[in-house]
Structure 1
Amino acid sequence: MSIAENKKAFFNYHIEERFEAGIVLAGWEIKSIRSGQIQLTDGYVVIKDGELFLIGLRINALRSASTHVNPEPDRTKKLLMHKAEIRRLIGKVEQKGHTLVPLNLHYKGGRVKVDVALAKGKAEHDKRHTIKDRDWQREQGRLMRHKVSAPHKD
């Protein structure tokens, strides 16, 4: 079950590989995620000292959050992956044009996981091509609906 999706990632990047990572969260963040107070569109992943960190994931605190905790919505979250996977990602990210972007958050076994993609940025003409293809698919769907719903004249 998907919690939040980063639809802009598919528009702005060519997705080459996907990885699943755990995420370190505080208790108030889990409560907020369960109530849907999350925004993933501006998120990105950085590698620092051989560890992965998710920056730009916004989790808005609930009004009923604890008073002794000062919730920070834009806190940097640590991602959990095997060391060998991280080393492999470091090698790929060092190649020109590659980056790591979060695709979605989902539950797996009662825990929140993040799908991280190794991606390459799209050029402006590629984005226009994506829009053109999407519009054509939509138009094809409309034409097929009209063709199916039109009565036959024999």
Structure 2
Amino acid sequence: MKVVATNRKAYHDYDIFDKYEAGIELKGSEVKALRAGRANLKDSFVKIKDGEAWWVQGHISNLDTTYSAFRHDERRPRKLLLHKHEIAKLAGYTSERGYTLVPTKLYFNNKNKAKLEIAVAKGRKLHDKRRVMKEKELKKEAAAAMKRYGF
């Protein structure tokens, strides 16, 4: 599995509940750009519309060698390939107040297919973000102390 991009900000801004793997409908130039690692998941989200899942605001840059007539729109909405029962489940999550669908990882699986890992998430308040950061810092200090004293 070759990871192209991760959305580290999602783990900071949201509480992650459930994860799904979705295929992506891409053009050839987009696949080549992904293989070169030219993708960004920051500020993107997944939207359920008319029984279909769409990846919105995901950024896949053009390659420098691409002829200008064949360049793709870098931020175009891309259709996600999921089963109907998965889409229905995700639509049920998003109909509840406060839940959203956030892409967490973009990668190529063992069969060289581009996959997007999406997570059901709920936004954190500022004080929750501070609490989580404090807990991580305490765990880090405890692990360092255990290592220092040979445990």
**TM-score scaled to structure 1, two decimals?**
0.90
Q: Which has the higher Rg, Structure 1 or Structure 2?
A: 1
Partner secondary structure for residue 61 of structure 1: coil
1:15-71 alpha-carbon deviations (Å, 9 max, x no partner):
111111110111111111111111112211111111111112111111111343132
State which of 132, 139, 143 in structure 1 corresponds to 2:134: 132
Partner secondary structure for residue 71 of structure 1: coil
Amino acid at match of 2:26: L
Write out aligned runs for 1:3-22 (5 A): 3-22=4-23
Write out aligned runs for 1:1-154 (5 A): 1=1, 2-108=3-109, 109-148=111-150
1:97-118 alpha-carbon deviations (Å, 9 max, x no partner):
1110001012121100111111
Compute the displacement of 1:77 (Å). 0.8
Amino acid at match of 2:28: G
CA distance in 1, matches of 2:30, 2:47: 21
Compute the displacement of 1:85 (Å). 1.1
Compute the displacement of 1:129 (Å). 0.9
Compute the displacement of 1:138 (Å). 2.0
CA root-mean-square deviation: 1.5
CA distance in 1, matches of 2:78, 2:37: 18
Compute the displacement of 1:145 (Å). 3.2
CA distance in 2, matches of 1:9, 1:126: 14
1:84-131 alpha-carbon deviations (Å, 9 max, x no partner):
111111112101111100010121211001111111111221111111
**TM-score scaled to structure 2, two decimals?**
0.91
Amino acid at match of 2:135: D
CA distance in 2, matches of 1:16, 1:125: 19
Percent identical pairs in the alignment equals: 37
Compute the displacement of 1:4 (Å). 1.0
Amino acid at match of 2:99: H
- Unpaired runs of at least 5, structure 2: none
How many residue pairs align between the two structures?
149
Partner secondary structure for residue 126 of structure 1: helix
